[in-house]
A and B are shown apart, each in its own frame.
Chain A
Amino acid sequence: MKAIVLYLHVHQPYRVRHYTIFDAGKHHDYFDAPLEAPESNEAVIRKVSEKSYLPTNKVLLELLDKHPEFKLSLSITGTIIEQLEEWAPEVLESFKALTETGRVEIVAETYHHSLAFFYSRNEFERQVELHNHKIQQLFGQTPKVFRNTELAYNNDLAVWADKAGYRGILAEGWDPIIGWRSPNFVYRPAHTDNIRLLMKNYKLSDDVAFRFSNQSWEEWPLHADKFAHWLSEAGDASNFNLFMDYETFGEHQWSDTGIFEFLRHLPIEWLRDEDHTFMTVSEVIDANEPVDYIDMPDTVTWADTERDLTAWLGNKMQHEASDALYSLESAVFSSQDPVLVADWRKLTTSDHFYYMCTKWFSDGDVHAYFSPYDTPYEAFINFMNTWHDLRYRLVQKGIEV
């Protein structure tokens, strides 16, 4: 059997409002931008719900109803769940409707979509546990497969996930790592025993996520029959790992590009062959023995042409902002103030550091598209001003920082 392993990642950060040094010490409403501002979280949630979450979930539910073989996996961060609870509960209901079919598996990650693994193992584990708890509460599932923020992966992470009892972990199928091997099989991470590694087939995934609407792409327009044909012709393979942002459907690729038609027809075209099916991430791990082990001493992510952490931790501003934030960790927890802890955690979300990326001249357009700020410098100034206020709040409580 050859399986499509479709895995979609659902996330929105709590964007920081335009917050000046004159707000610090006075206002602590970092995330409450007015509705008309580009960094308004409520406006983004409403817009993306309408353009992407609701129509996509509608199509996915139709597909689950129509095709018993159709299955998929989702990860959904705590920061978006909270925002959906507040501004778009109907979207959360539509996700529940998907999982109630029993054929949608939720993947584990950090609640706050943070890079805490690289800064504080304690906080990382707390955020994973928070997420786990939230998923159980909402969806009645206990995630068995782990993905780190931005697919940031290395051997240490795999060892951690193995010890934590996860059955699988996700990573980018990046050529310098895979070498002559194919991402279309199940692997075992180096230095582990039980856990399995699924690697994103980035070429096929990006055909959908990035190139789909690109009219100068030689394969444009991409229809489901052509795509299913490519997979059929791919030779020896057990699983095609199509990992992408959920917002590909309707947000990154707008409805008028035909992306929903593509999604609607993909199962029909793919399932024409009896040897073809869909699997969730756990199922594909159960169904296949690992063909080899993969050694990744250095961190690999799914972003940019470098596939490293430099989109979040590339320049001095990003390092300074992260270092400054995590330097407050113990003080924030010693305050035992749940609001302060929650605010601090919302700032650990990786997006804040992504907005500070200055790699504008090679792949800057992508960064600019996703940022609510005019420049990376403004993003940094804004973030550091909230940091000053966090420090102010700690000092007010008599906590040394």
Chain B
Amino acid sequence: MKVLMLGWELPPHNSGGLGVACYQLCKALSKKGVGIEFVVPYTADHGDIDFMNIRAAHPQGITAILKSGIAYDSYKYVYEDGHEEWFNMYDQQAAYEAAVGQLIPLMEFDVIHAHDWLTFRAGLRAKHLSNKPLILHVHSIESDRAAKEGGGNPLVREIEGLSLLMADRIIAVSKLTKQAIIREYNIPADKIDVVHNSLDLEMIEPLALDSTHAYLKAMRAHGYRVVVSIGRLTIQKGLTNLLYSAKAVIDKAPKTLFLIVGSGEQYNELIELAADLKISRNVIITGFQRGARWRDSFDVGDLFVMPSISEPFGLTPLEAAGYGTPSLISKQSGVAEVFKNCLKVDFWDINEMANQITAVVTNDILKDELQKNAMIEYDNLSWHPAADRLLEWYRIHSNEEIEVAQV
């Protein structure tokens, strides 16, 4: 089985969970003997990845496409004559479509598997040129990112709606996402299959002995408790509600610190809100972190909170479990469908969020019990069931292709 995989990013050049999910899924598929051509829209070295062939999609006349670290930023195109040009997201996905079109005759594959809207038009082009079945994998849709039903950029919605209609099969990362696809685009339910994300435990890097959070470690030793949230600072992530809850928690349990790790358009707003609520001394906003600082942020927490308004899946609570930190997650998340041993709350229920956070920071027994049982779930995580499911869809759709040809 050979698959043309169209993706937007791969680690270490990723800005968030999409790249990680694609990478780990492909690794599990390759272990099952699937050959993968993975086409990314930028120029970069993925030298460590040996289980699939990675190509950059360059339109004619372009020698390099350079991306910055953050999602949804512009891309710098370097032309053969040396001049440079910035492309916005929309133009970039259109350029990717054209470039993928040029690559099609150079590649052999049985199925096309495309991840999220940025690659969907490229997927349609590939299907048109190759007559191979198209599977669209939805990690999030526009209304999730806008945190509003019916919301988001109409140009993006147009691409999503049209592509989902024309796809042979749609994979959604959660029941929540499946419902959103049906609600937003009227796609028949039986065309959408839910395949939950997982976590490749081999990918989890161990903690260094010396934590990068010296201050928070010291405060914990003085009886403080740390509540941590890690993610992009966008409206989708629901962090303003977390700050309102934090206010109520700190009133009850003053020795509680909140660590917010991430960057995004709400960065300044959240800092101001914390000041308005007079909790700035207890709220630490660090900006985007990678590597040891990112891992240590999970580790230093007594509780990890994912208060998302809309989270199609949401891997971070499972990562937190791996670092021994229990979680409070919003019920409006895909991961809530699979993760049992955690606290769950409606994202809008600020009072209940505060109630549950207060319970954890004032009761180590609750924390320990959550952590212990979450670790058992964590140890059983694997991408293999997801890979098996996808392989089944690859077989079904590539066989259909043959039957049609015989008629």
Contact = CB atoms under 8 A, between A and B. Distances in A.
A239 to B, nearest CB: 42
Given A316-B368, A317-B366, A358-B373, A375 B355 contact: no
Nearest to A378: B343
Contacts of A315: 369
B356 interface: yes
A399 interface: no
A22 B355 contact: yes
Given A360-B340, A375-B343, A381-B359, A20 B351 contact: yes
Interface in B332-373: 340-344, 351-352, 354-356, 358-359, 363, 365-366, 368-370, 373
B376 A21 contact: no
5 contacts: A22-B354, A317-B369, A375-B344, A377-B366, A381-B359
Nearest to B328: A377
Contact of A21 (B341, B355, B365): B355
B369 A316 contact: yes
A358 B366 CA distance: 12
Contacts of A358: 341, 369, 373
Contact of B359 (A21, A374, A375): A21
Nearest to A317: B369
Given A22-B248, A380-B366, A381-B366, A361 B376 contact: yes
Contacts of B343: 375, 377-378, 381
A385 B359 CA distance: 8
A369 B50 CA distance: 48
Interface string A7-25: 0000000000010111000
B24 to A, nearest CB: 24
B252 interface: yes
A20 B352 contact: yes
Contacts of B363: 320, 384
Contact of B252 (A21, A316, A320, A375): A21
Interface in A293-318: 315-317
A22 B351 contact: yes
Given A22-B252, A381-B356, 12 more contacts: A20-B351, A21-B354, A22-B248, A358-B341, A358-B369, A360-B340, A374-B344, A377-B341, A377-B369, A380-B366, A381-B343, A381-B355
Contacts, number: 58
Residue among B248, B340, B368 having the largest count of chain A Cβ atoms under 10 Å: B340
Nearest to B373: A358
Interface residues of B, number: 22
Interface of A: 18, 20-22, 315-317, 320, 358, 360-361, 374-375, 377-378, 380-381, 384-385
Nearest to A318: B369
Nearest to B362: A21
Contacts of B248: 22
B339 to A, nearest CB: 11
Nearest to B359: A381
A381 B328 CA distance: 13
A361 B363 CA distance: 24
A320 B344 contact: no
A317 B365 contact: yes
Contact of B358 (A21, A374, A380): A21
Residue among A21, A315, A361, A384 having the largest count of chain B Cβ atoms under 10 Å: A21
Nearest to B252: A21
A316 B344 CA distance: 20
Contacts of B373: 358, 360
A375 B340 contact: yes
A385 B369 contact: no
A22 B376 CA distance: 32
Contacts of A375: 340-344
B79 to A, nearest CB: 57
A375 B343 CA distance: 8
A385 B355 contact: yes
Contacts of B252: 21-22
A378 B331 CA distance: 14
A374 B342 CA distance: 11
A378 B341 CA distance: 11
Instruction: Give the 9 A-B CB pairs with smallest separation, nearest first.
Output: A20-B355, A381-B359, A320-B365, A316-B365, A21-B358, A317-B369, A21-B355, A358-B373, A316-B369
A378 B358 CA distance: 12
B148 to A, nearest CB: 26
A79 B252 CA distance: 33
B341 to A, nearest CB: 7
Nearest to B356: A381
Nearest to A319: B365
B352 to A, nearest CB: 7
A381 B358 CA distance: 9
A378 B355 CA distance: 10
Nearest to B344: A374
B328 to A, nearest CB: 10
Contacts of B358: 21
B96 to A, nearest CB: 43
Nearest to B326: A377
Interface string B308-343: 000000000000000000000000000000001111
B340 A377 contact: no
Contacts of A380: 359, 366, 369
A21 B366 CA distance: 15
Contacts of A18: 352
A18 B351 CA distance: 12
Residue among B344, B352, B359 having the largest count of chain A Cβ atoms under 10 Å: B359
A50 B358 CA distance: 40
Contacts of B355: 20-22, 381, 385
B336 to A, nearest CB: 10
Contacts of A316: 365, 368-369
A360 B372 CA distance: 13
Contacts of A374: 344
B163 to A, nearest CB: 36
A384 B367 CA distance: 14
Nearest to A380: B366
B256 to A, nearest CB: 13
A7 B343 CA distance: 39
Contacts of B352: 18, 20
Contacts of B365: 316-317, 320
A361 B377 CA distance: 10
Contacts of B366: 317, 377, 380-381, 384
Interface in B22-81: none
A378 B252 CA distance: 19
B376 to A, nearest CB: 7
A317 B342 CA distance: 14
